[in-house]
Chains A and B, each alone.
Chain A
Amino acid sequence: DTGVSQNPRHKITKRGQNVTFRCDPISEHNRLYWYRQTLGQGPEFLTYFQNEAQLEKSRLLSDRFSAERPKGSFSTLEIQRTEQGDSAMYLCASSLGHASTQYFGPGTRLTVL
């Protein structure tokens, strides 16, 4: 247990539905990252926050994806109108500062039918 938690751990949804995932980072960590990992591949960067500010978004993050970190603590990642290609493991990580080790949560596995 790294201290980063994610919920739910698994989500199965039908194409076209909206889903929301939550990440609770280590409490004193000011940086929070979202990554996506498909089967057999390494994770890919989606977005990151410093406190409540979203500082960078990947080109992978289409308009259907939105992430928030309203009070600089937990974060949510929402996917609207899910597509089968969204099926992946969504990983959250947190760190204390930009040059520090990132601690990963267990991930949320999304399956879009």
Chain B
Amino acid sequence: KNEVEQSPQNLTAQEGEFITINCSYSVGISALHWLQQHPGGGIVSLFMLSSGKKKHGRLIATINIQEKHSSLHITASHPRDSAVYICAVRPTGTASKLTFGTGTRLQVTL
């Protein structure tokens, strides 16, 4: 079993829909990251969380440390949001290396 599990693996939505991607992890962590990867490989960091909730534009990330669970929400989705969204955790006691989930592939259609 992977230390970081994401669901769903694939997601198709229509433009304007509210989207939720989930991440569960099995280890103690000092931080959790949400990353966006576009075709061609480039990865962009969206959020780094250790508690609570963060918002940036149409993106919202939440984390529940007790339940070892995080969600990434996209409001009013748009085709340009189509990408792979990856959850990554920094386990406690591991300096700064990240452990990644396998990603959620999101396709937003018109």
A contact residues vs B (CB 8 Å cutoff) = 2, 31, 33, 35, 37, 40-45, 48, 55-56, 58, 89, 91, 93, 95, 98-99, 101-104, 106-107, 109
Contacts and interface: CB of A to CB of B under 8 A. Distances in A.
The 10 nearest A-B residue pairs measured at CB: A42-B100, A98-B96, A104-B43, A107-B41, A45-B97, A106-B42, A42-B102, A101-B45, A43-B100, A89-B41
Given A89-B41, A91-B43, A107-B42, A102 B98 contact: yes
B97 A48 contact: yes
Interface of B: 4, 30-31, 33, 35, 40-45, 48, 86, 88, 95-103
Most chain A CB within 10 A, of B4, B41, B48, B100, is at: B41
Given A40-B102, A42-B86, A42-B88, A99 B96 contact: yes
A42 B43 CA distance: 11
Nearest to B101: A42
A104 B46 CA distance: 12
Nearest to B45: A101
Given A31-B96, A42-B103, A91 B41 contact: yes
Most chain B CB within 10 A, of A31, A33, A37, is at: A37
B38 to A, nearest CB: 10
Contacts of A33: 96-98
